[in-house]
Structure 1
Amino acid sequence: MTLPAPLTGVVPPVCTPLTPEGEVDVPSLLGLVDHLVTGGVDALFVLGSSSEAAHLTDSQRRLVVRTVVAHVAGRLPVLAGAIDMTTPRVLDHVAYVVEAGADAVVVTAPFYTRTHPAEIARHYRLVAGRSPVPVIAYDIPVSVHTKLSAELVLELAADGTLAGLKDSSGDLAGFRAVVTGARARAGITGFSALTGSELVVDSALALGADGAVPGLANVDPEGYVRLDRLCRAGDWDAARAEQERLCALYGMTGVGDRARMGASSSGLGAFKAALYLRGVIACPATAQPQVPLSEGEVERVGKHLAAAGLL
């Protein structure tokens, strides 16, 4: 289907359920997609950070995007990550996700090598020149070690290279500069400014963002859809209360013992444990080399779910 311009609403970055052996659990992936669609979300984003794309083999990535696109069957737009270190590798990913039917590609700056802003701009222009679907920039400096400046994003939006931005930088002021600049700058139309934060969706929508891409929406899609609709209706008191409930639920991402695991193991492990406890997926396994949550940590995830009214 044609990607709306701008894309608005709640766009979960879909987790990738795995078997205990580390293979993609296709039945659970289909169940998760149904859970999200039933929850009222506006689009789906596969092969992002919450999808554990960095841990998946290329064949697993292909399986995920083919499975989700086929199952959605045009009911919602599907965005697919084309995330890799260099332009040629990203273009390889673009080719197969577009062939599978993705409606847009989501692309980070190049990483591993040290790049200049001019090289980052060239990267996006080369990708957009070869992509038959819209390109959305993914600003995630914690992972790629480069911050996309508001000026660069707006320059690429103005010349038609970028159709949108998923901002996971944690820089709300910088995101605001993109949102306000996209409204004011000549030549920019239909640009989608999407926050990747679970914790400030109400604030981002208040300053003019088009939508949100929160990983926690895997666990509680109805909550984020409710939050989005309350903001759009201008019911800011109710929106703030819903955002605070979701912030408390997000506390589950801290259950993992940081003496033995990283933030990714704790956060993604919590999302998958929550989906397992809610009966959405069959196994809470995360991809190697991430460390699994202990039984006690999974129990703590359950307490967060119960407190949020989800068990």
Structure 2
Amino acid sequence: MELRNDTRISVFLLLGLSKEPELQALILGLFFSMYLITVFGNLLLILAVISDSHLHTPMYFFLSNLSFTDICFTSTTIPKMLMNIKTKINVITYEGCISQIYFFLLFASLENFLLAVMAYDRFVAICYPLHYTVIMKPWLCGILVLVSWMISALNSLLQSLMVLWLSFCTKVEIPHFFCEINQVVQLACSDTFLNDITMYFAAGMLGGASLSGILYSYSKIVSTIREITSVQGKYKAFSTCASHLSVVSLFYCTVLGVYFSSAGTHSSNSSAIASVMYTVVTPMLNPFIYSLRNKDIKTALKRIIGITVT
């Protein structure tokens, strides 16, 4: 059967996190505050890396890219959610929904790849410290980020185009605060077999490959740290990757927690609430994790806000 676009709708209805009217003001204030903290926190981190020449290294280059991705990732969903709550019109256009799916997948995949690239950077720094500057040259760092962008863009483009070919008839209520691709595909009245296969294959291949790379890198890092004789040397080696390990744990634990919890409860509303963890909370906490555990970042931030550093 030939796939064709028989879409009979122009808008989707986003049900949001709660239907209770008395909770809308609380949700609006809470998410607006979290969004501002996310944007300004990550912008400060990017500014700190750009303004301090001591931070012009591969590790901080990847970190600034991660911060930029976090800003875009959150901005894909939260502003629309806040506007819907404010106007009390919980709709998103068909075109807007497809665009939201594309950019959400793009920045979610990009964050996934950047975490893997940063793990590789820490692997080289700890396991091959004498060859670090030779291996992690600027052109290689640029290629790693560029390839991450390209794969993420191709994946999101493919899945978004496949959603365009689906037919939507009458039921257009999405039990979420944004156009989550799985929820949208479930609303289609045409065959979604290819969409389901593509989604699971992409999640397994892209997510699985990145997570496997991270686990392999840290297995080698742990082995190298165990071979260090001095306690001070072990602490110094571990401290260079502690922040990244914290961010990786937060991101993957929340993502896996969302899908396991939603699969166990079969509740779309529970899935929407759990999704807040990796779509909002994780991007908000990332700059704090890196700044609180990193003396170089704290020094650069103090210079930016005008505190004299001795």
State TM-score, norm by structure 1. 0.27
State TM-score, norm by structure 2. 0.27
